[in-house]
């Protein structure tokens, strides 16, 4: 290891040490720490890990003001993934620390996972799988997806990809996004307020960042606007849904089913596990082999570029 190389740390718990991304990082920089624990680092451990680093390849560990203050030389945090709500962005800005994400690589994988959750719910696939393993071959009638109205909240990269896939399956597309750009297909119908989308959608899927103070978008009031029997999908952020309100809506039949890749606590042990019509996956929407490869190389390249390399 050459002393004049820029020092970097890999704090994400699942970085492929045999990948082209790691090879490029180790060739260009001196890696002073690698998280090989398989666990998300605590604040104390994170402070120790990045103490001497100028650049960090990060995951979902919490970069609080305390953590950032402990890293005197830190210039760049490059996140493997899209969300940045685990990083104190205001304090990072005050410290002159550049924060980057991989906004392109996870898009297709998350869009596919969203569609997979819709299929699972409408075709009762998880229930059949579990029953057959128990020797139960009873039948539960499913529903067609074709002809349903899909309400997309947030028409960014992922939301658009979901719409494209869903339209090919015969779903009608409506969306709510005040900041949606031009070049939107004429067949997609924009709604001027969220309540209008909630009233018209058979399926609601969320593709927006966390709201101010983690305010939920789907709370008790929002569920009251929805069609009875609506299907809810969330592959974005857990704070977008009030889980108590969702449980109440399930109990009263206002929500028929839900597909969630993000929940309030991971690993999840809460009351939503009592509902067979709720399919929960462990925050893995972007975790495909192809997507992870692309995210890791994008994160490394982002950091190297920001460091002037």
Place of tokens 């929940």: 263
Burial letters 178-200, b for 16+ CB under 10 A, else e: eebeeebeeebbebeebebbbeb
CB atoms within 10 A of CB 27: 8
Place of tokens 């015969």: 170
Catalytic positions, please?
A: 237, 266, 283
């Amino acid at each position: 290891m050459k002393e004049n190389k820029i020092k970097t740390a890999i704090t994400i718990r699942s970085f492929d040490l045999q990948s082209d991304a790691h090879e490029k990082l180790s060739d260009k920089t001196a890696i002073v720490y690698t998280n090989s624990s398989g666990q998300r680092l605590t604040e104390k451990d994170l402070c120790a890990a990045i103490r001497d680093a100028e650049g960090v390849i990060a995951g979902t560990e919490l970069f609080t003001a305390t953590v950032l203050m402990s890293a005197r030389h830190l210039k760049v945090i490059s996140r493997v993934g899209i969300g940045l709500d685990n990083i104190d962005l205001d304090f990072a800005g005050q410290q002159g620390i550049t924060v980057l994400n991989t906004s392109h690589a996870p898009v297709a994988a998350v869009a596919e996972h969203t569609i997979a959750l819709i299929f699972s719910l409408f075709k009762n696939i998880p229930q059949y799988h579990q029953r057959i393993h128990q020797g139960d071959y009873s039948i539960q009638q499913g529903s067609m997806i074709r002809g349903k109205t899909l309400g997309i909240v947030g028409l960014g990269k992922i939301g658009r990809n979901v719409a494209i896939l869903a339209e090919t399956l015969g779903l009608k597309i409506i969306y709510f996004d005040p900041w949606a750009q031009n070049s939107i297909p004429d067949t997609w119908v924009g709604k001027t307020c969220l309540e209008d989308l909630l009233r018209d959608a058979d399926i609601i899927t969320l593709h927006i960042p966390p709201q101010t103070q983690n305010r939920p978008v789907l709370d008790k009031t929002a569920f009251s606007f929805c069609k009875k029997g609506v299907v809810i999908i969330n592959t974005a952020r857990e704070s977008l849904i009030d889980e108590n309100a969702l449980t109440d809506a399930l109990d009263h039949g206002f929500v028929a089913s839900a597909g969630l890749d993000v929940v309030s606590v991971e690993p999840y042990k809460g009351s939503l596990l009592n509902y067979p019509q709720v399919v929960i996956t462990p925050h893995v929407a972007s975790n495909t082999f192809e997507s992870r490869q692309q995210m890791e190389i994008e994160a490394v390249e982002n950091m190297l570029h920001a460091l002037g390399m």
